[in-house]
Structure 1
Amino acid sequence: MTNPGRDRHPSRTTRPSEPAFRLTEGTVESHLARVHAELDVDFRTSAVATGIRLGLIRR
């Protein structure tokens, strides 16, 4: 017996040959800039430290 959902959507297998979506470098940079602004920090390390302090990131 086959899985009808899998047959109709081959991209939804457990190991897709290609990502379901792609992120451009600009998208990632824009997202990180917004996160840094929201946390009022300038650097990744500061963002991580602030996230830990605020309970947004668990150690």
Structure 2
Amino acid sequence: MSKNNLEPSVTPDLEDPKFGFNSYAERLNSRAAMIGFAAILLIEYLTGKGFLAWLGLQ
């Protein structure tokens, strides 16, 4: 048997996974982290206290 007979003639069109480590999940996670970091900076600026003090943990 030759090698050509063992390979498929058509490559399947697979969808990207909806969960796990993929580019969409990583992009979504980084955007959420940037929004959270900006929110913490805004809270500290508006209240004049650190984030932990604002939560009552310090």
TM-score > 0.5, shorter chain as reference: no
TM-score by length of 1: 0.35
TM-score (norm. length: structure 2):
0.35
